Amino acid sequence: MTELRNTKQRIAVTAALSATDRFQSAQELHLAVALAGHSVGLTTVYRTLGALADSGDVDTVISTDGQVLYRRCIEPSHHHHLVCRDCGRTVEVEGPQVEKWADAVATANGYVDVSHTLEIFGRCSACATLRTPS
Amino acid sequence: MTELRNTKQRIAVTAALSATDRFQSAQELHLAVALAGHSVGLTTVYRTLGALADSGDVDTVISTDGQVLYRRCIEPSHHHHLVCRDCGRTVEVEGPQVEKWADAVATANGYVDVSHTLEIFGRCSACATLRTPS
DNA sequence: ACCTAGTTGACAACGGTTTTCATTTTCGAC
DNA sequence: GTCGAAAATGAAAACCGTTGTCAACTAGGT
């Protein structure tokens, strides 16, 4: 069915993903690949990330301003993210009781085919010390 | 400070918001206003919705494809939403234990200035019966 | 009625993402 | 190794939701 080929471009993109533990936009990753010395078209970056997201190899988060952020998946099972608003540094978190609560609420209201999005945004300690309030 | 005036445009937009309990995009609301017989510019719809969102009079949700959906707020306190993927029909839900869990996880990891997004998406019973699987 | 700061809307601009399509590349078959 | 079909690439254009521009308009106090 799906025939995937090993191209230098895909290798470069996955390498860039593996080089960081932060959520990054497609454009940031495109820049990261360029800085790593490889030339990959922006279109290809988008396509590669889309494919990886479909296959579940990267996690995606929609930032509060609507753009998609990507990050390589460490924990393969279902989990959520604690993301730094400034630098993207991320901690994977799990909340089994939250999952159960969400499903229970949905079925109690007659909703089927249920999914949920749960992300926690904040400022990590490193970024918090940088921008000290007045 | 903020001096708000009562214009027919704002009245028309808030009326359209009050006429439904569903999450709708700015463009859908713009159409709804037009169908209601009023002529309001799309720019004004966006501005009005933005203002209402800032003042907390409407809830906003970012759909999975990145666009902003608006809905008039029934419950003024902090809550989350169970949204139908197809028609936007929405139930407001509360999960105090989830709030506490999110804050605890964030502070345990040294994150400050914490917020979170939690939305449940599914298919409401009405829409579920419409598109019966094969 | 008048004044003025707030408001409107047609249109252009913006920015992230997707599509197009001609060219290039991978990789199994020979 | 090399051939060739299918997959992949990338530059540019299209897309689409959203925001900015700015001249004309209006609500509401005096």
pLDDT in tens, A101-127: 999 999 999 999 999 999 999 999 999
Question: In the prediction, which pLDDT does A52 show?
Answer: 96
d(CA A23, CA A61): 8
Nearest partner of A99 among A79, A73, A120, judged by Cα = A79
Going from the C-alpha of B37 to that of each of A8, A51, B10, the distances in angstroms are: 57, 45, 14
Question: In the prediction, which pLDDT does A114 show?
Answer: 93
d(CA A80, CA B119): 13
Residues in A closer than 8 angstroms to B129, CB to CB, are none
Contact B62, A66 (CB under 8 A): yes
Question: In the prediction, which pLDDT does B76 show?
Answer: 85
Please give, rounded to a whole number of angstroms, the shortest distance from the CA of B37 to a CA of chain A: 31
Q: Where are the alpha helices (DSSP H) in chain B?
A: 8-18, 26-35, 42-54, 96-108, 125-130
Question: In the prediction, which pLDDT does B118 show?
Answer: 95
d(CA A51, CA A49): 5
Q: CB-CB: which of A62, A84, A93 is closest to B105?
A: A93
d(CA B99, CA B38): 41
Chain A residues with CB-CB distance to B under 8 A?
A: 62, 64, 66-68, 82, 84-85, 91, 93, 95, 97-98, 101-102, 105-106, 109-125, 128
Question: In the prediction, which pLDDT does B105 show?
Answer: 97
CB of B122 under 7 A from strand C? no
Question: In the prediction, which pLDDT does A2 show?
Answer: 59
Cβ pairs A/B, distance under 8 A: 112
Percent of all residues in chain A with a pLDDT value above 90, rounded to a whole number: 83
- pLDDT reading at A17 higher than 60: yes
Tokens of A60: 């995606």
Tokens of B128: 């579920």
User: Angle at the Cα of B88 (from A107 to A110), degrees rounded to 5?
Assistant: 15
Tens-place pLDDT, residues A22-48: 999 999 999 999 999 999 999 999 999
- Give chain B's residues under pLDDT 50: none
Question: In the prediction, which pLDDT does A133 show?
Answer: 56
Tokens of B106: 């964030």
Nucleotides of D under 7 A from a protein CB: 6-12, 17-21, 26-28
Averaged confidence pLDDT in chain A: 93
Question: In the prediction, which pLDDT does B35 show?
Answer: 97
Give kind and range of the element (H or E) at residue B84: strand B80-84
Q: With b meaning 16 or more CB within 10 Å and e meaning fewer, what string describes A29-65?
A: bbebbeeeeeebeeebbbebbeebeeeeebbebbbee
CB of B77 under 7 A from strand C? no
Which long-range contacts (C-beta less than 8 Å, at least 24 apart) are formed by B8-15?
B8/B38, B9/B38, B9/B40, B9/B41, B9/B44, B9/B48, B10/B48, B12/B36, B12/B38, B12/B40, B13/B40, B13/B44, B13/B45, B13/B48, B13/B49, B14/B48, B14/B52, B14/B72
Contact A67, A29 (CB under 8 A): no
The pTM for the full model equals 0.90
Q: Give the dihedral sign, CA B6/B10/B15/B20.
A: negative
Radius of gyration of chain B (CA): 17
